[in-house]
Structure 1
Amino acid sequence: MLKNLSITEFLEKTASSSPVPGGGSVAALAAALAASLAEMVANLTIGKKGFEDVDREMKAIAKKTRNYRDKLVQDIDKDADSYKAVVAAYGMAKATDEEKLKRTTAIQEALKQAALVPLKVAGDAADLLELSGKVAKKGNKNAITDAAVGVMMARTAVLAALYNVKTNLNSIKDPSFVDSISKDVNALEERILQREKELLSEIDL
């Protein structure tokens, strides 16, 4: 599984002619890195003198970010698997009308799943952007740049994941599905760009 590769192995596999891991898996990895940085800053704040008032909040954030990290690591493989399912559907037999219908149905279902996986990654990454902003504002000031990088990684993860949603929507024939997901994508994309600017502007270096 991709999640069990070393950093060097993951980079080598990404750089190879294999289509997986691709942008979707990398988006999930970026979000997991954002989670890790926010968790680190929270842990560097817990129990430290001068931060007693936020100790309970930092413990809650550390727990949340750990859960996101665990989930997003799984999404690295989930995204790759959704891509493989699309490829498999396109490879189905199409000699008869019945086979063509089954193939078309399978392709459309696989494409929908391939859009929903990165959409969930984008949503989780958006939550992590907010958590990164919180640790930047209230956490250990010696790690404020780590929190800032977490904000930026979360933003990148959101936008990267949404691009993968969009590319799948282009091939989906269900107009109600496309319209609904497109509205979610556009709203999240607009919000995340504004929130990154707001959060980074609050970081005083």
Structure 2
Amino acid sequence: MTESLWDVSAADLRARTASASPTPGGGSVAAVTAAFGCALVLMALEITARRDPSVGDAITAGRSLLDRLGRAADRDVELFEDYLRARRLPRSTDEERARRQEAVRAASVAATEGPLTAAGDAVEALEWAFAVLPAVAGTVVSDVRAGADLLLGSALATLRGAEANVAQLGDEAAALTARLDAVRRAAVAAHARIDRTPEGSR
């Protein structure tokens, strides 16, 4: 991939996603969604900072998360394209078939590890959103909650793609499935903590 998803217009990204092209797919769209969820929380903090500069460290942490979540969008496209290249390797001889099988296995593992990392970053962003929620100015608390909703949806959607990749694996499948389940539980639990936080709990 030579062009970042962040360099195209929103309309172009929407059109590409709705086309017959396999990329951008669920993982990259989920990563874009996570980045916007994180951005909503940052917006709430930036507004709060006008009268409460003590949230500066939280803003710095959020911008680091935003960068990581944003990079995951392009990384997902790269990983899927690597997988497609492995699938297209020749398989006319036993040696070629063995080489192709190993390449597909390695690409499938990488295409599972990538979404796992991205979903883990979304969980970290949810935990950050929970931590900053009490400090946010009352009028933009809803943006923090909306951002958290997007982060949860992103984490769950990202794991869907990882599950599809695990289905292609053999011995590594059990360990990766356990990690997927753990990240899913962590995402749901982190979001639930935000949901349980009452308004005006500062």
1:20 maps to 2:23? yes
TM-score when scaled to structure 2? 0.92
CA shift at 1:96, angstroms?
0.6
Partner of residue 180 from structure 1, selected from 158, 175, 179: 175
Other structure's SS at 1:93 match: coil
SS of the equivalent of 2:117 reads: helix
Partner of 1:59: 56
CA distance in 1, matches of 2:24, 2:159: 16
Computed over aligned residues only, the root mean square deviation of the Cα atoms, in angstroms, reads: 1.4
Unaligned ranges ≥5, structure 1:
none
Letter in 2 for 1:161: T
Alignment match, 1:197: 192
Match of residue 71 from structure 1: 68
Which moved further from structure 2: 194-203 or 73-82? 194-203
- Which residue of the partner structure matches residue 10 of structure 1? 13
* Deviation of the 1:14 alpha carbon: 0.3
Report if the CA contact (8 A) 1:89-1:110 is conserved: yes
% identical equivalent positions: 25
CA distance in 1, matches of 2:64, 2:189: 26
Unpaired segments of 5 or more residues in structure 2? none
* Residue number among 127, 131, 151 corresponding to 2:128 in the alignment: 131
1:87 equivalent to 2:93? Answer no
- For residue 20 of structure 1, give the secondary structure of its aligned residue in structure 2: coil
CA contact 1:155–1:192 (8 Å) conserved in 2 = yes
Q: 1:30 aligns with which of 33, 37, 48?
A: 33
Q: Distance in 2 between matches of 1:120 and 1:188?
A: 9
- State the TM-score, normalizing by the size of structure 1: 0.91
Deviation at 1:83, TM superposition (A): 0.7
May I ask how many residue pairs the two structures share in their alignment? 197
Q: Which amino acid counterpart does residue 136 of structure 2 have in structure 1?
A: G
Shift of 1:200: 1.3
1:121-179 Cα offsets, whole Å, 9 max, x none, are 10000011112223322211111110000110111111111111111000012x2x322
- Provide the rounded CA distance (Å) in 1 between the counterparts of 2:48 and 2:108: 43
Does the 8 A contact of 2:17 with 2:23 survive in 1?
yes
